[in-house]
Structure 1
Amino acid sequence: MTDLLRLATAGSVDDGKSTLVGRLLYDTKSVLADQLDAVHRASADRGLAGPDLSLLVDGLRSEREQGITIDVAYRYFATARRKFVLADTPGHVQYTRNTVTGASTAQLAILLVDARKGVVEQTRRHAAVLALLGVPRLVLAVNKIDLVGYDEQTFTVIAKEFTAHATALGYPERALLSVPLSALHGDNVVDRSANTPWWSGPTLLEHLETVPVKVDPHDAPFRFPVQYVIRPRTPEHPDYRGYAGQVAAGGVREGDEVTVWPGGQRTRVVGIDTPHGRLPEVRSGRSVTLLLADDLDITRGDLITAHTAPQLSDELSATLCWLAEKPLRPGARVLVKHGTRTVQAIVTELTARFDEQKLSTSDTPEQLGLNEIGRVRVRTAEPLPVDPYRLNRRTGSFLVIDAANGDTLAAGLVGAPLPVLDADDLVSPGP
């Protein structure tokens, strides 16, 4: 049975992310014939001699017209060794919020740079965001190596600079790999290139197929945010009451004792329903309906847990990646969306701001601007059942929302330090 790797791409604009993704899809034969025909037609309309593989990813009309990616595009492909879910994220600074979205569940990120430009400001910013989100492994794809004559020295200088920056963010060297490639021509993407005889490392796909990754452990504490209460009130089910949602972490069996938060009521699981029948147990990522032994007052936004209790608090210390044009200042009144619950909140204090370029922090800043990362204290109108982000990404993260218009202002991580990666997040290869 093949396993699954979730990965994301990031990098500065025009570094070739969409072309790289298109090349992976094309060379792994993951493209349908009608999709490829459409790409050939669109490429011919542009006057190109061959297919523009970036169009396999850039699906929005505005993206195709501008030749850039402005949204997160998810693609699925597989080889004989592994299945992949890939998020292609934008390169423009103003779309860093999309990078946060795409990388939030990634186990590995591919960070592209143009071999002619090397590591730039946006490269360092994306690396900091990836470290902040706890993405365990990074691959630096030094793209367009053909445009520098496949020069080994150029690649070596870029790889060393990036490794120094990533290790300063907390990444151990065993979590990093740099690969020289040309997404346009396919050098070292899927097939090894004769143009880089000096490169003895793996191709990009070889690395993706074999890199050891940490998956969500099945023995993690069970977390189940309630999305909907099902009460059909039909003659066939006059007393049915189920709680629908997706298992955020861990697993639960029929008969297990659970606790419902924020009230702290205890009860027992008596059934696990799906559209295809009842299950004896369920694991992380599965959408189900739980049936409980007691008739409790449970609504959307409640959290059902087992094994280990979350932290119930109305005072959160968190790291924010600020994603709005309007700066954040102390005293801002916002909404906090945690799981399926949304509550009113106030940002009481800005405790630190992180400079992702200089890798330094400043205490008690006056504000956080667009794409800046900082530590804050947030007081919520109601207690929230949270876990530290390092222990659980799903229940350790939240969104900050503008109460006036519903816009997303920031991504928040409960208790997360400013970018530094825990070595325990990695899985070492066996002997």
Structure 2
Amino acid sequence: MNKKVLPLIVSLGLFGSVAAGCGSGDGAKQGADKGDKTVTLRLLSTNPLVGEDSVKLFEQQNPGIKISYEYVPTADYSAKFAALAAAGEIPDVFWTQSGFYTDQIKQGLAMDLTKELKGKNYEGDKTWEETFVPALLDNARNVVKKGLGERETYDYGVPFTMTTIAVLYDKTIFDKLGLKPPTTWDQFMSNNEALKQAGYTPLSMHNNWIDWYPRLFWDQYTRDELTKNPNAFEDKTMTFSSDSVKKGLTAFKDLWDKGYFPQNGITAELQTMQQMFVQRKLGQFLIAPDKLEYIMNNAPKDMSLATYSLPGIAGLPSRSLGGSSNVFAVSASTKYPEEAVKLLKFITSKTHFSQVDALKYSNSGLNNLESDPQLAQFLSGFTNAAAAGFSPDILVPTTINTQISTAFKTDLLPNYLMGKYDLDYVCSQLQKIYEETRAK
């Protein structure tokens, strides 16, 4: 697809441990106007897909509710959320993700939405629950079940988008080198070598997504074991030192040792990779569709873009990461639960996804939401990646809570790639953190 055809947009993040039992601020800070019936809700996100245009549309349709919106860059979200929790000022509606979500639930910060999901959706024509792709809602529930065990309910937030992962590439480069989108891992590796020999960095990598590759590899290498026994880590029939887990990490380091990643990939931000790609220094970009805006707006006019789904390293159908990795929740201590739930219903509604331009280019995770045929063709790699289903957000449990996720992404993986930590040390440390945090 030529870059002039569509503009697109951005998302994803991480937050740290938070204080338990904190509210969403007093009435003055909430902004409730006692002189009239206007209510002001606070909305916090790392996801600019929910931005000023979203707020404007919601306020137009709901004149009795005002939104105080704050966007926080991914790198700052952890500190921001922790500070708000410590001050008792958790926003009424907030973005969260995977294992961090389970920390918030454990600490009583997220509202139980079981009753609300059985009620009407934003448009009032269906129940809220049935508007979601069933597998996506199940994925969000399974994150809670896997992270916190059996509970009466698993509905403390709702999935915002169906995050799929695919490879973006410039067809002009592929044509020049005689390359085709790979359908097998051997073809993928052959393309990487050809791109490297031609002077391109074959693959993207940046600090916040550094764990994507091993998680994709684990979905291939550990799938049989964890399908037969989903509780293998809990009952210790499987550990981080199991051969299949080690194979995933070894395969990741092999890509690094071959020089297929940028040398600055361990510390680089997303925008650095985006700039490298539009400058045609980077041959392929493993990316989610909601991170494409910069590339679509800045790519050269002669850059012809397309996507393909990453082949499975072990030859199995390649399931996508993501699924329900973007979740929005309501503060358990909001003073305006009815209005906050209404805002959350709007965020996950057809109205929102169909009337806000930026959201037209995301995978909504809603049933029967039509998309532009030309756009659908361009995004076919993401569609194909989702067709085989999603790897559970918590498979090999490096995303089960904040502590292990942070250690894996900021310490163990970077130092493993650079040769400062060996494989056995990384695996033993992951097992230690997992056991310590599971015991709490």
Instruction: Answer yes or no: same fold by TM over 0.5.
Output: no
Which of the two has higher C-alpha Rg? Answer: 1
TM-score, reference length from structure 2: 0.30
Give the number of the structure with larger relative contact order, counting CA–CA contacts within 8 Å between residues 6 or more apart.
Answer: 2
Task: Name the structure with the higher helix share.
Answer: 2
Greater per-residue strand proportion: 1
TM-score (norm 1): 0.31
